[in-house]
Structure 1
Amino acid sequence: MNLIAIDLETIRLGHPLPFALRNEHGVLLAQKGYVISQREEITYWTSRGMTLCVDVDANEQTHRAYVGKLHEMVRSDKALTDIVNVHIASDDLTPAQARERNDVPDWAAFQMKANALLRDPESENFLTRLDKLYNELHDLVRYHPDATLFALIHLASTEMRVYSATHSMLVYVVCSLAASEVLNWSPKLDASLGKAALTMNISMTALQDQLAQQSKSLTVSQIEAVEQHAMRSFNMLLAMGVQDEDWLLAVRHHHDRGPGGLASKTEAMRIARLIQRADMFTARLSPRLGRACLPPPMAMQACYFDEDKKVDEAGAALIKAVGIYTPGTLVRLATNEIAAVIRRGLNTTMPQVAVLINREGMPTGEWMIRDTSLPRYKIVGHVANKDVKVQIKLEQMLTLI
């Protein structure tokens, strides 16, 4: 890590943080994308003697922005002591492209494009189209992490016909956030991680969509296809000419059971383990025709504890990155209001939410934002999408986020 103090006066209230905020020891205080709504949140940390910092080595763009700041100070003949003790302003670390990008993608079209690609791995330009899909999704995670989580959780909960593609994209998003914000992996690993997550099921995309809508038990041939899909997907990628060993091995081993710390594993097996935990977590958040989705705390437990009933490092990183109540999930508040989680909070159980149904059971005319860290608005339970009769207009909700 290369921790540099942030100029607190430049943090814009009510806007997503363009970086993860840490203390001087590197401990994560707020994820990238978290919205600080009141100055008191900052003084809470500083009053305890903390120096708020950003890790300028966390990603390539942030590092370039920091180096550019130093070069600018040198060219301006700043004193050496000023350069050594430089404080970074929030906008210094916000790429201009990110500041200008406020567009909300057409998620329905994006979902269908991913589905068309992953259902046709034999197409001549598959890898080129996959690169484009990965790059687009990578930008969405980087610039709009909470909105991207919301969109994919919502789509996974409401549209089962293209379950496989949506699930693969969601697995990548939660893995990427855990890798960058909690595990501090090199940004260079993200492409291997992303493409492995997107292609882990290419040998059974159509079957996975079918199973999501199937209420009866799996047939013998379906069970065989599911059990062999990791090796088949691996062989398909080899035949296409993929040479990235981390990508290939992560796909091959993404269903392996391998408890234990990540430090003892190769990079490929670390990626495989993170994908395996995310696969379990997100699958349990998504309903199938034959079963309802699990409440978020139960879905969390499935990946938080490993095969030996110990805390799993990869699973714990996922939960810390996205929260138990991930953006896109529906919850009931202590006020008896029903709300949609829209942004991650400082605590994994205390996100920001938008009220959909008031305490009288009536749809709200306007969304009211609640901070669930306040006792009167605390979350008391999970609500399944099927039990909420209010239709969430995704584009409008993403604009709010």
Structure 2
Amino acid sequence: MQLLKLVESEIQMDVALPWNVRNHDCALLLARGHIVSSEAQMQALLERGIYVDLEEKRAVEALYVPKSGPVKSIYTRWADTVDTLETLVHELPHAPEFPANIEKLAQELITLADLDADIAIFLAVRQDQARHLRYGYSHSVYTALLCILMARRMEWTAARVRLITLAALTMNASIADLQGQMASQDYPVLDRQRTQLRTHPIDSAALLAKAGITDAAWLEAIRQHHEQGNGSGYPRGLTQIDELAQMLRMADIFMARISPRAIRAPMIVQDAARQMFRDDKGGAMSSAIIKVLGIYPPGNLVKLASGELGVVMRRGTEARTPLVAAVTDAQGRSVTTTLHRNTADPAHAITGLAADDKHLLSRVPPERLYGYAQACALT
């Protein structure tokens, strides 16, 4: 049984549940047909963590597909990119359709980034901390997103944006499942795991070549994406590194730092950006990361001059004044409606970052912040 975590918007008050609701151990909490009738019960469930069998949920959704064809929200399309990547990688190396299918997936990511970059960044910053086992695939997807945004900022051609997206999606093809295991384990990396990590750039490129990938720049970017200009990288200790590989390495490391693990909390985005900027000595690529994310990227929890806590929704025209949605009132109590705050207004100016000690953001799905207006027909 594969469990999918539910968010508040997927449970309707006073409406019979269309599927069984379980906890993270698969134990049944609420049977299909049960009616959640109180806000207190809803909040208790969300705080506990509620899940549904993925196959059961898909079976229910299939009953309501409109005859004109399926329509998916932008959130579902992002989730589907991770599912698709996992399926494609598991088919390697004997997958004659892999080149065409990975090209299609890369184009979908580019399209989604263009549709709404703020939603994309929000999803990358606020990754589900309960889904460590799929980290190898979500990490590649969000690394590809960051590469798209960086490359666009640096005015790369469309062809090079496509190429860096393909490389990011496939850079860890040989260790994607291992990455999930490592993210979920509560002990340090084992020696045998470290050995696989050291050879994965070569191993991943070899898998792709067997599957029919012939683009030399794509394959070499993967082989080099852990090399460093001072020769201390791996697996070959190179000192001359291709620009594609440099971007891939930087985005890979940055996303790894801000992603959760069972053994450690994610690094704060601002700290990760400062460390990257320092390591890169203020170079063009680390500067691009900072510029595309902003000082307060979507997904950050911040303190406001009003006393409220809010989550950043959209980057502003000025780096220090993004659009924020309040998630508490001035007394620190959770609010049930979304109140937008323009932080350019001194009354709602950002006074600093806030720690999510009460797990407020786990109860604030992106649908609540951005709505469903971004629903898009499949192409």
TM-score by length of structure 2 reads 0.70
Instruction: Count residues in correspondence.
Output: 294
Structure 1: runs of 5+ lacking an equivalent: 1-100, 260-266
Taking a change above 3 Å as real, the CA distance of residues 158 and 390 of structure 1, as seen in their structure-2 partners, is same
C-alpha deviation, 1:184, in angstroms? 1.0
Q: Contact 2:93–2:210 (CA<8 Å) still a contact in 1?
A: no
State the one-letter code of the partner of 1:199. Answer: T
Q: Contact 1:169–1:197 (CA<8 Å) still a contact in 2?
A: yes
Is residue 271 of structure 2 the alignment partner of residue 301 of structure 1? no
Q: Contact 1:332–1:381 (CA<8 Å) still a contact in 2?
A: yes
Q: Which residue of 1 aligns with 2:53?
A: none
Q: Contact 2:88–2:98 (CA<8 Å) still a contact in 1?
A: yes
C-alpha deviation, 1:144, in angstroms? 1.5
Is residue 343 of structure 2 the alignment partner of residue 343 of structure 1? no
Taking a change above 3 Å as real, the CA distance of residues 396 and 359 of structure 1, as seen in their structure-2 partners, is same
**Hey, which bits of structure 1, 4+ residues long, moved more than 4 A?**
none
Structure 2 Cα separation of the partners of residues 157 and 382 of structure 1 = 18
C-alpha deviation, 1:195, in angstroms? 0.4
Q: Which residue of 2 aligns with 1:104?
A: 74
Structure 2: runs of 5+ lacking an equivalent: 1-70, 231-239, 375-379
Taking a change above 3 Å as real, the CA distance of residues 386 and 205 of structure 1, as seen in their structure-2 partners, is farther
Q: Which residue of 1 aligns with 2:250?
A: 277
Structure 2 Cα separation of the partners of residues 162 and 238 of structure 1 = 24
Match of 1:206 among 177, 180, 189: 177
Residues 314-347 of structure 1: CA deviation (Å, up to 9, x unaligned): 1111111122432223333333322222112234
Q: Which residue of 2 aligns with 1:291?
A: 264
Structure 2 Cα separation of the partners of residues 313 and 322 of structure 1 = 14
Residues 271-299 of structure 1: CA deviation (Å, up to 9, x unaligned): 21112111122212111110011122211
Q: Which aligned pairs between 1:332-371 and structure 2 lie closer than 5 A?
A: 332-371=303-342
C-alpha deviation, 1:254, in angstroms? 1.1
Q: Which residue of 1 aligns with 2:114?
A: 142
Structure 1 Cα separation of the partners of residues 72 and 190 of structure 2 = 47
Is residue 369 of structure 2 the alignment partner of residue 397 of structure 1? yes
Q: Which residue of 2 aligns with 1:318?
A: 289
Structure 1 Cα separation of the partners of residues 90 and 342 of structure 2 = 41
Q: Contact 1:140–1:148 (CA<8 Å) still a contact in 2?
A: yes
Instruction: State the SS of the aligned residue for 2:127.
Output: helix
Structure 2 Cα separation of the partners of residues 346 and 103 of structure 1 = 26
State the one-letter code of the partner of 1:341. Answer: V
| Percentage of identical aligned residues | 29
Structure 2 Cα separation of the partners of residues 105 and 287 of structure 1 = 20
State the one-letter code of the partner of 1:370. Answer: R
Q: Which aligned pairs between 1:50-199 and structure 2 lie closer than 5 A?
A: 103-106=73-76, 107-124=78-95, 125-155=97-127, 157=129, 159-180=131-152, 182-199=153-170
Q: Contact 2:150–2:288 (CA<8 Å) still a contact in 1?
A: yes
Q: Contact 2:301–2:355 (CA<8 Å) still a contact in 1?
A: yes
TM-score by length of structure 1 reads 0.66
Taking a change above 3 Å as real, the CA distance of residues 249 and 385 of structure 1, as seen in their structure-2 partners, is farther
Instruction: State the SS of the aligned residue for 1:122.
Output: coil
Q: Contact 2:297–2:315 (CA<8 Å) still a contact in 1?
A: yes
Taking a change above 3 Å as real, the CA distance of residues 372 and 253 of structure 1, as seen in their structure-2 partners, is farther
State the one-letter code of the partner of 2:247. Answer: L
Taking a change above 3 Å as real, the CA distance of residues 156 and 197 of structure 1, as seen in their structure-2 partners, is farther
Q: Contact 2:92–2:211 (CA<8 Å) still a contact in 1?
A: no
Structure 2 Cα separation of the partners of residues 268 and 103 of structure 1 = 39
Instruction: State the SS of the aligned residue for 2:126.
Output: helix
Q: Which residue of 2 aligns with 1:72?
A: none
Residues 106-161 of structure 1: CA deviation (Å, up to 9, x unaligned): 14444323333334433523222212211111110112111122223323555323
Instruction: State the SS of the aligned residue for 1:162.
Output: helix
Q: Contact 1:213–1:288 (CA<8 Å) still a contact in 2?
A: yes
Taking a change above 3 Å as real, the CA distance of residues 104 and 241 of structure 1, as seen in their structure-2 partners, is closer
C-alpha deviation, 1:103, in angstroms? 4.6
Taking a change above 3 Å as real, the CA distance of residues 350 and 116 of structure 1, as seen in their structure-2 partners, is farther
Instruction: State the SS of the aligned residue for 1:161.
Output: helix
Structure 2 Cα separation of the partners of residues 160 and 398 of structure 1 = 26
Q: Contact 2:85–2:169 (CA<8 Å) still a contact in 1?
A: no
State the one-letter code of the partner of 1:280. Answer: I
Instruction: State the SS of the aligned residue for 1:359.
Output: coil
C-alpha deviation, 1:192, in angstroms? 0.7
Q: Contact 2:338–2:369 (CA<8 Å) still a contact in 1?
A: no
Structure 1 Cα separation of the partners of residues 358 and 267 of structure 2 = 13
Taking a change above 3 Å as real, the CA distance of residues 255 and 241 of structure 1, as seen in their structure-2 partners, is same
Q: Contact 1:112–1:162 (CA<8 Å) still a contact in 2?
A: no
Structure 2 Cα separation of the partners of residues 224 and 384 of structure 1 = 36
Taking a change above 3 Å as real, the CA distance of residues 360 and 179 of structure 1, as seen in their structure-2 partners, is same
Q: Contact 1:174–1:322 (CA<8 Å) still a contact in 2?
A: no
Residues 211-262 of structure 1: CA deviation (Å, up to 9, x unaligned): 1111101111001111111111112122222122221111111112237xxx
State the one-letter code of the partner of 1:395. Answer: E
Taking a change above 3 Å as real, the CA distance of residues 390 and 187 of structure 1, as seen in their structure-2 partners, is closer
